[in-house]
């Protein structure tokens, strides 16, 4: 991975971090991996707060979202001043969004790189960064990382 300023031009669009073909174990590993980082991790439900205010296990989280049509959830992770937000749109695709303005040079890019590595290493899956969109599979990857 390397920093290219053109990937982070402030153009009114966010950037998306994606893991394709995700399964319940990938979500579980992701949540467990984030808990080990020491990064600021915030989880909120839109309708009902969980009893402890924290993240339920992956299965319970996804079951609740599937069974409660009006419910949604947000997972926000702050890494070196960059906020990554996940809204659990689809179980098959883990997607976080971030503002490209937050990546303004090699120092902030190092924080993005750390986040990408954590996601990939936790899930054992390839991670790609694309422009904001809905069909990430057809979009060119700005950055990609695959765990060893």
10-residue mean pLDDT series, the chain (148 residues): 93 95 92 90 71 59 71 86 91 94 96 97 96 86 92
Spatial distance between the Cα atoms of 139 and 73, rounded to a whole number of angstroms? 26
117 belongs to a structural domain: yes
52 belongs to a structural domain: yes
**How many helices and strands, by DSSP H and E, does the chain display?**
3, 7
pLDDT of residue 51: 43
7 belongs to a structural domain: no
Domain residue limits at 129 = 13-145
Q: Which of 111, 86, 85, 87 is nearest to 8 (CA)?
A: 111
Spatial distance between the Cα atoms of 119 and 16, rounded to a whole number of angstroms? 13
The pTM of this model reads: 0.87
5 belongs to a structural domain: no
pLDDT of residue 52: 45
118 belongs to a structural domain: yes
CA 112 centroid distance within chain: 11
For residue 38, give the CATH number of its domain. 3.30.310
Domain count, the chain: 1
Spatial CB neighbours of 12, under 8 Å, sequence gap ≥ 6 = none
């Amino acid at each position: 991975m390397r920093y290219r300023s053109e990937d982070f031009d402030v153009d009114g669009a966010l950037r998306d971090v994606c893991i394709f073909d995700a399964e319940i174990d990938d979500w579980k590993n992701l949540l467990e991996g984030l808990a080990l980082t020491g990064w600021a991790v915030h989880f909120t439900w839109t309708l009902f707060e969980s009893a402890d205010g924290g993240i339920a296990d992956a299965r319970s989280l996804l079951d609740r979202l599937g069974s409660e049509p009006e419910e949604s959830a947000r997972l926000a992770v702050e890494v070196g001043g960059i906020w990554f937000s996940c809204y659990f749109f689809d179980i098959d695709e883990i997607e976080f969004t971030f503002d490209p303005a937050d990546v303004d040079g090699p120092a902030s890019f190092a924080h993005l790189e750390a986040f990408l590595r954590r996601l990939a290493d936790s899930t054992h899956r390839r991670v790609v960064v694309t422009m904001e969109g809905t069909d990430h599979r057809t979009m060119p990857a700005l950055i990609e990382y695959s765990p060893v």
